[in-house]
Structure 1
Amino acid sequence: MASHEEVSFQTLDGLTLRGTLYIAGPNRPAVIITPGFNVTRDVLLPRIAQYFQLAGITALVYDPRTIGSSDGNPRNEINPAQQVTDYHDALTFLKTDGRVDPERIAYWGFSFSGAVALAAAALDKRPKVVIAVCPLTQWDLDASKWRGVMAKAMQDRESRLSGNAAFSLPMITDRGANPAGFSSGMGASELDLVAEARKIPGFNLNTTIQTYYNIMSWSPFKLLKSLPPTPVLIVTPEDDRISPLADQTELIYNQIQSPKQMYVVPKKGHMDVLDGESFENVMAVQVSFIRQYLASDVA
């Protein structure tokens, strides 16, 4: 079984983020991995990290701030702009590990964190590659809900300043809808995967209402022009209903001026692109991309 160790690192604003480090050997290239929206590092990511490790690539997987084992309050208050800075601090931590080659580090993200990883790489030229798996393309709320959600967020701010707890709501209902109108396209397979995630210790279905204020006030798209010269791999499911292939192509891939590659995974959706029989092929494409730009010594 592949070896790993529990680690922690500090952010610039004083939080402790916790994760798992899968060491591939001495002086190895490395990849920094974070999970999707409101999900802990135990969902999907250990298998991915182990694949990279066995290919000769060290992998750091950590819980985003306010989620799982990492610090931050209120719990499950998600802020994509802060998650960008946490990628930077994760790299600062990782490059000090003597077993990692500090000049061969990549960023990796999935869905929500796929877009965050792209933004992080646009602002930080220390990572030499970025991989985004089905990066999220919707960064606003449903037109019929956003005014009400923002009004509730302002009420929550007033309430919290009076000493009350943060208002929270489920990120998804039993019918597959986000109550704030964030994202769409959930089907039966996506709901099944969420149900499985709920069984994992530390998983919290709720997010704070301020999460959606943070999302509405941020967009990764304006940063894409700053990605060069960092090479970019976009892994896109053919049947993605949450971030459709056409949107990923138009809003993200076509805007990138770096060396780039898009790999379309046949007959897969947003939530199962890294699961099932296509897993080996999808991971092999990513390892090949890292080998092309970072490491001839990757398996």
Structure 2
Amino acid sequence: MRENIEFRTEDGVTLRGWFYPAQGVAGPAPTIVMAHGFSAVREMHLDDFAEYFSRHGLACLVYDHRNLGASDGSPHGHVDPVAQIRGYRDAISHAETLPGVDPARIGIWGSSYSGGHVLVVAAIDRRVKAVVSQVPLVGGLEAARRLIRGDYWAGLRANFDADRRARLQGAAPAMIPVVDEGNGPSALPTPDSWAFFDNHRRTHPDTTWVNAVTLHSVELFAEYEPWPHIPRIGPTPLMMVVARDDHLTPADMTLAAYETALEPKSLLVLPCGHFDAYTGAMFARSAPAQADWFSRHL
């Protein structure tokens, strides 16, 4: 049975989530720290992964990033990759203090945007003993160039600059939808992004997810480059899960990035798109492989 938890970051922001004790384990257990991707909240299928891992002897700490979901932080909807990376490290520190956790056997799991975060955290924080990075963002600028038409870039950068000047003068940050059903501006401008988030909103009327992020979040997305950290992860064991038909975090970029990782490493390629990796047959294929990876290396 999961427990509600909260903990404070080093700079004093309260993050909230769930703790899943490891089932069938006597004594301190290996533990996975988990968070979601760009703007997403823990109810978007992280509970499915955590429940599966828990049933297979792995405790899980699942939480919402700052400024998102049930966690505190201002402005709400501001997605800062550096702050989220620090949040992972604070979550590891909190996990080390929990009853039932073996602080010497902590792994990290991330997907999409946080799939990039765990690559960075695993490279710089040696408390991490194993990592799974699912459909990760490995290069923000190249991914953004593929998502945004070339003739839109000049106007978008002008908007970034105007927002920065306005914030410096004390104005509230400009906001942009995460997804849009039509052709309007959005942070994740793909039909499958709309389908994923809209389906969650319709099936979870009490959701804490909000269809808005700061425009600055998009600028930070385009500046974010986890790729150079990948060769520094080893000898920490790395598993990367790639969706073959992914065009949000393009599969060819992820596969090329995987080749730069040192051993021990493992690659799982799923025959699906980005969001299919969370559910159905792809979850049934991927979750056991991920649990086995953590179990073997923790």
- TM-score normalized with structure 1 length: 0.90
Partners of 1:236 and 1:265 within 8 A in 2: yes
Partners of 1:110 and 1:134 within 8 A in 2: yes
Match of 2:61 in 1: 60
Deviation at residue 225 of structure 1 after TM alignment:
2.1
Match of 2:29 in 1: 28
Asked if residue 257 in structure 1 is aligned to residue 258 in structure 2, the reply is: no
Deviation at residue 178 of structure 1 after TM alignment:
7.7
Q: 1:197 aligns with which of 200, 220, 232?
A: 200
Partners of 2:276 and 2:282 within 8 A in 1: no
Match of 1:279 in 2: 283
- Tell me the alpha carbon deviations over residues 183-231 of structure 1, each in whole angstroms, 9 at most, x when there is no partner: 66x34x5432221122332111111011122223331112112212111
Match of 1:163 in 2: 170
Partners of 2:243 and 2:269 within 8 A in 1: yes
SS of aligned partner of 1:12: coil
Partners of 1:149 and 1:209 within 8 A in 2: no
Partners of 2:106 and 2:130 within 8 A in 1: yes
Deviation at residue 82 of structure 1 after TM alignment:
1.3
* Stretches (4+) displaced over 4 A: none
- Tell me the alpha carbon deviations over residues 218-269 of structure 1, each in whole angstroms, 9 at most, x when there is no partner: 311121122121110011122222223322111x201111310001123x21
Q: 1:9 aligns with which of 7, 10, 34?
A: 7
Q: Distance in 2 between matches of 1:148 and 1:220?
A: 26
Deviation at residue 50 of structure 1 after TM alignment:
0.5
Q: Distance in 1 between matches of 2:18 and 2:138?
A: 28
Q: Distance in 2 between matches of 1:83 and 1:135?
A: 15
Unaligned runs of 5+ in 2: none
**Structural RMSD (CA):** 1.8
Q: Distance in 1 between matches of 2:68 and 2:17?
A: 11
Deviation at residue 166 of structure 1 after TM alignment:
1.6
- Tell me the alpha carbon deviations over residues 45-64 of structure 1, each in whole angstroms, 9 at most, x when there is no partner: 11111001111101111001
Partners of 2:139 and 2:226 within 8 A in 1: no
Q: Distance in 2 between matches of 1:36 and 1:208?
A: 15
Partners of 1:138 and 1:183 within 8 A in 2: no
Q: Distance in 2 between matches of 1:48 and 1:130?
A: 14
Match of 1:125 in 2: 126
Q: Distance in 1 between matches of 2:276 and 2:184?
A: 19
**Percent identity for Structure 1 against Structure 2:** 31
Partners of 1:198 and 1:205 within 8 A in 2: no
Q: 1:293 aligns with which of 249, 274, 297?
A: 297
Q: Distance in 1 between matches of 2:167 and 2:294?
A: 45
Equivalent position amino acid for 1:47 in 2: D
Deviation at residue 75 of structure 1 after TM alignment:
0.8
| Structure having the larger proportion of residues in helix | 2
SS of aligned partner of 1:64: coil
Query: How many equivalent residue pairs?
Result: 286
